[in-house]
Structure 1
Amino acid sequence: MAEASNEPYRTLTVNVDRWAGAASTGITKQLFEILDIVDANGPLRRALTDPSRSADDRARLVHTLFDGRANDVAVDIVAELASQRSATERQLGDGIERTAVQLAAAAAENRGGVDALEALVDELIGFKSMLERSAELQRAFSDSRASAEAKVTLARRLMAPGSEEAALLVERAVSEPRGSLPGRLLEHFAQWVADRQHRWIARVQTARPLREDQLAKLRDALNRLYGRDLKLTTETSPSLVGGLRVQVGEEIIDGSVTHRLDQLQQRIAA
């Protein structure tokens, strides 16, 4: 059955944590390879984004085409993205690209936790900065006459020794920028990796400074809650009146008096 025509469009995303434990650069490469197939095949893009086809039908098409040809994780991710309603054909490719980068970030995280994520961001930004300093390199990587293989070879010569994840993402940005400038795409890649890095940082706001023993108890409680060794940053904000506010990634735990007063006012006004 076709989906309802009034179903809202949204950014195509998946919960990468579902596959994070199995994340690797190999699976990331396969996601990029599937992306290349989708980008190069107009009829396939239209079939995978056709709103007259049901979500299950679009997901089945992905499995029909790629089961046995790519890692199960890569196929499952693309099937889930295809099952969501796309505003444009380009949106599906963008979703695959972003998820591939997030999976590379998860692979780095598996290897070295938050320090590996921080290093990956630095490597991507470092290569971007090198490009911005050299008009000659910008011309070389934007030259439509140069092959993707030649651009990858040049990138490898320029890259300092670093992580496998950084090498993969830099090579991807210079060889298949999908209409963007390599430097700009690397900036996007770095931001997506940083988004995952922020999951390791707990930003704590309190009405009054916490004592060391209070900070230690809070850190232990948050580490147990999130299952990882979080880095705490603290900020004193008298406007909270009392209590505290904690943000880990996009999740917010708000136990401040101000927040409770706001909730009370909303209930009274309702």
Structure 2
Amino acid sequence: MTSDFRGASADAVAVLTGELESALSGSPEAAATVADNLFSVARTLRGEAALRRFTTDVSVPVEARSGLVGEVLGGKVDEISLALSRSAVSRRWTVTRDLADALEHLSVVARVRATGGDAGRLADELFVFAQTVKKNPALRDALSDPARSVGDKGALVSSLLEGKALPATQALATQALSGTYRTVGVALAEYQKVAAHVHGQDVATVRVAQPLSDTDRERLAQALTRQYGRPVHLNLVVDPALLGGMRVEIGDDVIDGTVSGRLADARRSLAG
């Protein structure tokens, strides 16, 4: 999300996102290709320190930076990705790594756009897969094992998701293996936030002792939408240890109405 960037980088990402949206509005079928290519460019920049330094050096004329990108990427990526990459290197970045991170962010936005009306399903599937990784130590270790190649890990992801999830979900889960984030779980969480934000939503993680009915879920979503002034996508986590009630986490806000939370408050009061 653009909120992860600061100063000049935040301004650059906002402009680039607008350019991406404009380009894809005239060619929506290109979104998946753009997503693949922008992530490939981000990975190249991370792996080529000299190229990364040159393309973010404000003392180098914009024409030289843009020209080098044209030479390196020309004929290897689609025209939209090339134009966005040239635009990206013409801008100022708060820190050098933000250039590659911004292109990865744009690749996720493009991937979300490629799903069309399935963006809500994409957000749900990313969350479910992240929870699966979190709750399965063997899977988590396999996906974080530095001795295993990215290709091997990607094959594992494919075996779990192919035919069971959207192609975009599988693509982003695979991308999470070699992106900027320190773990697959963190990457998936961030990608899901982007998926929600592209469609004007916030993401709320709701922890409950037992599953909510469809009616209660809809009522909660409406209440949070009224409170925060924009639609809210719910991630539901069932945790029997809460005993009852619910805990809602949205952005930096935490609303703890669980029985276990109230018991913990009571114990702290008695101890004090």
TM-score, length of structure 2 as denominator length: 0.66
Aligned equivalents of 2:226, 2:104: Cα separation in 1: 39
Aligned equivalents of 1:44, 1:62: Cα separation in 2: 9
Aligned residue in 1 for 2:254: none
Indicate which of 161, 167, 170 corresponds to 1:167. 170
Aligned equivalents of 2:31, 2:188: Cα separation in 1: 19
Q: Is the 8 A contact 1:102 1:196 kept in 2?
A: yes
Helix, strand or coil for the counterpart of 2:122? helix
State the percentage of identical aligned residues. Answer: 21
Indicate which of 48, 56, 61 corresponds to 1:54. 61
Equivalenced residue count is: 198
1:166-185, aligned counterparts within 5 Å? 166-174=169-177, 176-185=178-187
Aligned residue in 1 for 2:265: none
Aligned residue in 1 for 2:23: 19
Q: Is the 8 A contact 1:25 1:168 kept in 2?
A: no
Gaps of 5+ in 2: 1-6, 202-221, 233-272
Aligned equivalents of 1:9, 1:186: Cα separation in 2: 26
Aligned residue in 2 for 1:108: 115
Per-residue CA distance 1:98-153 (angstroms, 9 max, x = gap): 000001111112xxx2xx11011011111101001011111111110000111001
Aligned equivalents of 1:40, 1:86: Cα separation in 2: 18
Gaps of 5+ in 1: 1-7, 200-232, 238-245, 250-270
Aligned equivalents of 2:193, 2:104: Cα separation in 1: 13
Change in CA separation of 1:31 and 1:145 when aligned onto 2, cut-off 3 Å: same
Aligned residue in 2 for 1:64: 71
Helix, strand or coil for the counterpart of 1:34? helix
1:184-263, aligned counterparts within 5 Å? 184-198=186-200
Which structure has the larger Rg over C-alpha atoms?
Answer: 1
Letter in 1 for 2:22: R
TM-score, length of structure 1 as denominator length: 0.67
Q: Is the 8 A contact 1:155 1:171 kept in 2?
A: yes
Aligned equivalents of 2:112, 2:80: Cα separation in 1: 15
Q: Is the 8 A contact 2:126 2:189 kept in 1?
A: yes
Aligned equivalents of 2:153, 2:43: Cα separation in 1: 17
Aligned equivalents of 2:128, 2:154: Cα separation in 1: 17
Change in CA separation of 1:87 and 1:106 when aligned onto 2, cut-off 3 Å: same
Q: Is the 8 A contact 1:198 1:248 kept in 2?
A: yes
Query: Over aligned residues, Cα RMSD in angstroms?
Result: 2.7
- Within the alignment, does 1:81 sit opposite 2:63 as a pair? no
Aligned residue in 1 for 2:219: none
Aligned equivalents of 1:87, 1:236: Cα separation in 2: 35
Change in CA separation of 1:27 and 1:9 when aligned onto 2, cut-off 3 Å: closer
Aligned equivalents of 2:102, 2:91: Cα separation in 1: 10
- Within the alignment, does 1:30 sit opposite 2:27 as a pair? no
Q: Is the 8 A contact 1:10 1:87 kept in 2?
A: yes
Aligned residue in 2 for 1:263: none
Indicate which of 126, 145, 154 corresponds to 1:152. 154
Deviating more after overlay: 89-98 vs 152-161: 152-161
